[in-house]
Amino acid sequence: MSTHITGKTREPRSTNAYVNSRHRNKNEIAEDYVELIDDLISEKGEARAVDLAHALGVSHVTVTKTIGRLKQSGLVRSQPYRSIFLTSMGRKLANKSRERHRIVTDFLVALGVPMKTATMDAEGIEHHASQATIRAMKRYLEKK
């Protein structure tokens, strides 16, 4: 295993914050998509690629490619020119992502951050905070 220098200690590359961040960035896209698909189904009865593209500010081609990867991962079901549906695994991920977002938002508000700002900031933080950090935020909120 290759190593790198961090300060005066050597640590395996797998514990490198940059590597971990890149890994979380890959998961961030899947989490955003399944959460949005779940929201669209709840609000409109269906999730279409055009609605995803509009909401995310990306092209239809980008959505189509991402949906293909989500299908391979077992998170969604879809057919060409049809609505997109979450699998049970996709719904689980959407719920988990939504809960992480709620915890981070509530935590930021508890610190005095205005709701609008907390909601926007939580969108990025939720994907990059570790499970330990999310659990600590939740414990803090439960004590209040």
What structural domains and CATH numbers belong to the chain? 11-143 (1.10.10.10)
Query: What's the whole-model pTM score?
Result: 0.77
Q: CB under 8 Å to 65, separation ≥6 — which residues?
A: none
Which residues does 74 contact at the CB level (< 8 Å), separation at least 6? 87, 89, 90
DSSP β-bridge partners for residue 78: 84
pLDDT band at 26 (very low <50, low <70, confident <90, very high): low
Instruction: Point out the least confidently predicted range of 9-13, 31-35, 53-57, 109-113.
Output: 9-13
Q: For 86-140, write each residue's pLDDT tens digit.
A: 999 999 999 999 999 999 999 999 999 999 999 999 988 998 898 999 999 999 9
47-57 confidence digits (pLDDT tens): 999 999 999 99
In this prediction, residue 27 carries a pLDDT of 82
DSSP element (H, E) containing 34: helix 17-44
Cα torsion for 22, 24, 28, 34, to the nearest 10°?
130
